[in-house]
Structure 1
Amino acid sequence: MENFKSSEKNMGIGEESSSPKTQLILHLIPVIGFFPSLWAVYRCQGSREQLAVSRLSITLAFTWLLGYLLLATGAATSEFFTLRLLILNGFFTSGYFLVSIWLVLRLLQGKSHRLPGLSRFAERVFSKYL
């Protein structure tokens, strides 16, 4: 019976250490991760690392959405640059997805999840307004 209890304790410890990493990965999923990140920042729940990843995820998503809307609007209103702006929009969207996937892979490898410039910008913006 004691072996069973000790194995339960070991499983519990392992689950606790993997749970935050799973939550961090959830926050970094492109587009979908924006919503749990927004909720975590709004409620100020989670560890310091989780809040930093949430801020970065929100900043990436807003940057992508703003760029996407501006390029799509430019493509819709322009006659000459339509194809060029749509191609650029595709590259911009692909870049957002690739950066998000790259951050997930770095997180799985145990490396830093920070992006130079953008992480600092996200912390400044969210510390000012939240």
Structure 2
Amino acid sequence: MNKVDPLENQYINRLQLFLYLVPVVGFFPALWTLYRREGNKEQLAVSRLAVTLAIAWLSAYTLLGTGAQVSEIFTLRLLIINSLLTSGYFIVCLSLMVQLLQGKSVRLPGFSSFAERVVRRHL
């Protein structure tokens, strides 16, 4: 009987966590993990964080884009804020990926606890 190498499982686990943190695309596997309620504690925590980040970014992106279309005076300002918000979302996701690769804890101060409270209640 072949035994599974524990290092291989650790590699697969880290790869899944890395996938969850991919901007925009990682939302779907993270949501699927939360929906099934399968995975270890770290996978569920990173999934909650990824889903919360993506929903917050998408909500703000939609509101700023709508505001830019409706407003005549603040159009350029809202579009600039929208682009800064999107850049920030991508930078945060990339920095979380780097933290994961370095073996550090994948948490954002304040935002991770918010994700734990909100997403755990609704999913």
Unaligned runs of 5+ in 2: none
Corresponding residue for residue 44 of structure 2 = 51
TM-score (norm 1): 0.90
Deviation at 1:15, TM superposition (A): 1.3
**More helix by proportion, 1 or 2?**
1
CA deviation profile, 1:57-82 (whole Å, cap 9, x unmatched): 00000000000001001100000110
**2:80 paired residue number:** 87
What is the CA-CA distance between 1:16 and the residue it aligns to?
1.2
Query: Partner letter of residue 23 of structure 2?
Result: P
Aligned residues: 123
Q: CA deviation at 1:108?
A: 0.3
Q: Distance in 1 between matches of 2:119 and 2:90?
A: 23
Aligned alpha-carbon RMSD (Å): 1.5
TM-superposed deviation, 1:127: 2.2
Secondary structure of the residue aligned to 2:5 is helix
TM-score, structure 2 as length reference = 0.95
What does 1:21-60 align with in structure 2 at a 5 Å threshold? 21-60=14-53
Structure 1, gaps ≥5 residues long: 1-7
Greater Rg by CA? 1
State the Cα distance separating 1:123 from its structure 2 match: 0.7
What is the 5 A alignment of 1:109-120? Answer: 109-120=102-113
Indicate the percent of aligned positions where both proteins have the same amino acid: 57
Q: Which of 55, 75, 78 is the aligned partner of 1:62?
A: 55
